[in-house]
Amino acid sequence: MKVTKLHIRKGDIVVVLSGKDKGKRGKVLRVYPKERSIIVEGVNFVKRHSRPSQSNPKGGILEKESPVSVAKIGLYCAKCNRPRRTRLLKVEGRPTRICVKCGETLGKEI
């Protein structure tokens, strides 16, 4: 299976475009390029039952974030105040993500 580079990176601010969490905004905590999914802070919570252990002596039900497909995510543009598609442009010799609508630089350089 060929792993392609994703248009979203760790630390980006993203918006969920579809699903039960539609419209929620959060920071990307982890990226899984092979599965083409990411974990977004405060989005797509699941409940997991855990047995008592040394690290968690009581056990119980834990809530944690679950991965979301990259297809359901849009990179947030602060200038447009909306999720936007991006374009790669070379700025000072380095590839940089640019907002398609307003031309604002998004996130960190690649």
Tell me if 92 sits within 8 A of 105, measured CB to CB: no
pLDDT in tens, 4-46: 788 899 999 999 999 999 999 999 999 999 999 999 999 999 9
Q: What is the pLDDT of residue 82?
A: 92
Pick the CATH number of 13-83 from 2.30.30.30, 3.30.70.1140, 3.20.20.450, 3.40.50.300: 2.30.30.30
Q: Give the Å distances, CA to CA, from 65 to 2, 40, 99.
A: 26, 7, 28
Domain locations in the chain? Answer: 13-83
pLDDT at 93 over 90: no
pLDDT in tens, 48-78: 999 999 988 999 999 999 999 999 999 999 9
pLDDT at 107 over 80: no
pLDDT at 100 over 80: yes
Tell me if 32 sits within 8 A of 8, measured CB to CB: no
Q: What is the pLDDT of residue 5?
A: 83
Q: What is the DSSP letter of 24?
A: -
Amino acid in position 24: K
Measured between its terminal Cα atoms, the distance across the chain in Å is 23
